[in-house]
Chains A and B, each alone.
Chain A
């Protein structure tokens, strides 16, 4: 955009803000510098119309609320104006400490997506006369990282547009294409997820944003679906990735001073002549066996049999797998 175009657009905004009546394209052309042309010359007129269309699109992209209407019932041509009340940022009565908090929040995006939006948003607050202390800090500094897929997914959620993206789970090398009607984006325990209706699986699904490969593409029209009213995004993600209740109890024997990691989550630790007995809560015997095998010969499972057997089975399998190279057939 050249300097002349920028100048023309500033003048267009000022002109449309100052008018109460809707101004037609012809009236605007006769008023705002930069649109001069001979309306009777078809080529010139067409060039003007293209220019005016581009300018309107530019203003709308910036978020300028361009109203379209007619000045009276006798007008056939649409006119344009900008209602100052719609244009202007409403008053935000931020106290200095609250403004400082907004400033800190905006800085969280520094090295991540939406950084530009946060700083232009902050610039608008400053333009509204709010002073933001750039030096303010907090005692706890959250480091916010956001995946590249965040911004397009948030936009698609807002517009209620179906998206497609390639999704790669760690167990596979090749990503698969997914089609999703996104309902919302969730930050759960520091990781980002999108929740929505998976069109191919015809079911509610969560996707981890860090596993999305390449661009997120919005497809189809806006507003083509309605997310369910009662959807609780957090619990959707929590159910998908959250821990299960640990009802089982296993007793293991360990030498004093060993398997320190296990002791930390043991329900009880009893010293005995043959070692320390730890009682460990668990949900899945296989998963617990994985944790216990980590400590090798330092941990011996006493009960229940399902855990003891799982550990022995696992140890046997590892023994086979870790044969020295020479012992392989």
Chain B
């Protein structure tokens, strides 16, 4: 990410102030007698900033700059009314970035599966696009994955505040379980839908991936998630490894290097310091350390990645992988050949 030098940052806030001032007059004009505190909160500035802005506007106006030309306002206690606007009675049109930010976010909402009131959002989008005209210019397309029906059902359950009985596939343990949950909210993160709910079996808040809920029955009884529970902060991702989980270290070739992009890793470093490799990283290997919720899951991960990956630690993971391979080859009646020892 680029870092804005301090000088530029200073002029940025000044430019923001000019934009704010030009906006403030029509804002107040549309709301005669609004409380200063309410306006400040609405516009995201402090009371003091707003009062300073008003003081500055008070000395601005039409050429002539006499009493009848300057922007004027009346104060009544903590309420303010613009009595003369000097011609800035409308906000400035949207900039391309503003139009883009609003339009893209609305398209995200429209595309979010299971969204209620989609027609409202679509109408809002059409009106904003209309006002933005050809400003947006940059084609930005948004397409979210399907499974809208499942999300519809989940959203309705949240809305009706009913408990659910679900059949859920947990990839960590590779098992399907039935559980009763009290739905809290539906989330979309990274294109996947999740139901956050109180799990009565685990007696904890859990995130359930919508596409792994294999069956769902809405129960008669109301949802009763305990109050004062901590919801997940999903802004940095769904799986947040905690330091008490087992740490595994793998030696990873380039074909499996994607795991460092897909799973949170604690450490990624070249396995052989100073070794020359091909221009495209051929023959290179990395040491990757990551926390895993379950060693059996790690075993499936390593087996799935194949010969491109070797377990460095812990030894019991390496042992489990070897056991599985030996047993599987025995089932195919293939003798396990010794490694070449030359």
Instruction: Kindly supply a per-residue 1/0 record for chain A positions 36-61, scoring 1 wherever the CB is within 8 Å of any chain B CB and 0 otherwise.
Output: 00000000000000000000001001
> A108 with B92: in contact, given A157-B139, A322-B325 (CB under 8 Å)?
no
Instruction: Name the B residues within 8 Å of A185 (CB-CB).
Output: 138-141
A304 at the B interface (CB under 8 A): no
The CA of A321 and the CA of B266, in the complex, are separated in Å by 24
Verify if B40 is at the interface (C-beta below 8 Å from A).
no
Count A interface residues, CB 8 Å: 126
Cα distance, A119 to B97, chains bound together (Å): 11
- Chain B positions 1 through 38: 1 when the CB is less than 8 Å from some CB of chain A, otherwise 0: 11000000001001111111111101100110000000
B46 at the interface (CB under 8 A from A): no
Residues of chain B within 8 A of A260, CB atoms compared: 169, 174-176
A109-154 CB contacts (< 8 Å) to partner B: 109, 111, 114-115, 117-129, 134, 138-145, 148, 151, 154
Question: Is the CB–CB distance between B109 and A15 below 8 Å?
Answer: no
| Interchain CB contact under 8 A, A108 and B19 | no
Judged by a CB distance under 8 angstroms, whether A256 is at the interface is no
**A145-B235, A314-B306 as given contacts; A58 in contact with B18, CB under 8 Å:** yes
Question: Within the assembled complex, what's the spacing in Å between the Cα atoms of A119 and B288?
Answer: 40
Contact B127 A63 (CB under 8 A): no
Give the distance in Å from the alpha carbon of A238 to the alpha carbon of B6 in the complex. Answer: 41
Q: Give complex CA distance A299, B327 in Å.
A: 11
Query: Is A90 a contact of B131 with CB atoms below 8 Å?
Result: yes
Chain A 196-232 interface residues, beta-carbon cutoff 8 Å to B: 210-211, 214-215, 227
B342 sits at the interface (CB 8 A): yes
Which residue of B is nearest A327, CB measured? B339
State whether A171 touches B257 (Cβ < 8 A). Answer: yes
**Are A139's CB and B123's CB within 8 A?**
no
Q: Which residue of B lies closest to A104 (CB)?
A: B109
Please give me the residue from chain B that is nearest to A148 by CB atom.
B1
Query: Complex formed: what's the CA distance from A309 to B141 in Å?
Result: 42
Q: Cα distance A189–B193 when bound, in Å? A: 11
The answer to whether A99 has its CB under 8 Å from any CB of chain B is: yes
Partner of A144, one of B105, B137, B303: B105
Judged by a CB distance under 8 angstroms, whether A71 is at the interface is no
Q: Report Cα–Cα, A227/B87, bound state, in Å.
A: 41
Stretch in B72-80, B181-189, B222-230, B241-249 with 4+ CB within 8 Å of A: B181-189
A contact residues around B185 at 8 Å (CB): 139, 141
Asked if A98 and B304 sit within 8 Å, CB to CB, the answer is no
Interface residues of A in 86-107 (CB under 8 A from B): 86-90, 92-95, 97-99, 101-102, 104-106
Query: Across the interface, do A143 and B187 meet the contact criterion of CB distance under 8 Å?
Result: yes
Selected from A108, A119, A124, A157, the residue in CB contact (under 8 A) with B138 is A157
B126 shortest CB reach to chain A, Å: 9
- Closest residue on chain A to residue B191 by CB atoms: A190
Is B164 part of the binding interface, using a Cβ–Cβ cutoff of 8 Å? no
- Contact indicator B60/A319 (Cβ below 8 Å): no
Cross-chain contact B140 with A319 (CB below 8 angstroms)? no
- Please provide the chain B residues from 308 to 342 with a CB less than 8 Å away from any CB of chain A in the complex: 309-311, 318, 321-322, 324-332, 334, 336-337, 339-342
Q: Which of A87, A190, A318, A323 contacts B92 (CB 8 A)?
A: A87
Mostly, the A contact residues are helix
Q: How many residues of B contact A (CB 8 A)?
A: 135
Query: A122 touching B306 by the CB < 8 A rule?
Result: no
Q: Does A300 touch B at the CB level, under 8 Å?
A: yes
Asked if A190 meets B101 with Cβ closer than 8 Å, knowing A89-B90, A101-B121, A318-B325, the reply is no
**0/1 per residue, B33-75, Cβ < 8 Å to A?**
0000000001110000000000011011111010000000000
Contact of A62 with B188 at beta-carbon distance under 8 Å, contacts A7-B60, A89-B94, A97-B120 already known:
no
A1 proximal to B (CB < 8 A) = yes
CA distance A214 to B1 in the complex (A): 6
Instruction: Report yes or no: A154 in contact with B124, Cβ–Cβ below 8 A.
Output: no
B56 touches A186 (CB 8 A): no
Chain B CB within 8 A of A282 CB: no
The yes or no answer to A267 lying at the interface (CB within 8 A) is no
In the bound assembly, the distance between CA atoms of A10 and B71 in angstroms comes to 11
B306 touches A290 (CB 8 A): yes
| In the complex, residue of chain A having the shortest beta-carbon distance to the beta carbon of B158 | A139
* A-to-B contact residues, CB < 8 Å: 1, 3, 5-7, 9-11, 13-15, 17-18, 31-33, 58, 61-65, 84, 86-90, 92-95, 97-99, 101-102, 104-106, 108-109, 111, 114-115, 117-129, 134, 138-145, 148, 151, 154-155, 157-159, 170-174, 183-191, 210-211, 214-215, 227, 233-234, 238, 259-261, 264, 290-291, 293-297, 299-300, 308, 311-312, 314-324, 327-329
What are the 10 tightest A-B residue pairs by CB atom distance, in nearest-first order?
Answer: A190-B191, A296-B324, A1-B14, A121-B98, A297-B327, A88-B90, A129-B30, A317-B307, A184-B139, A105-B105
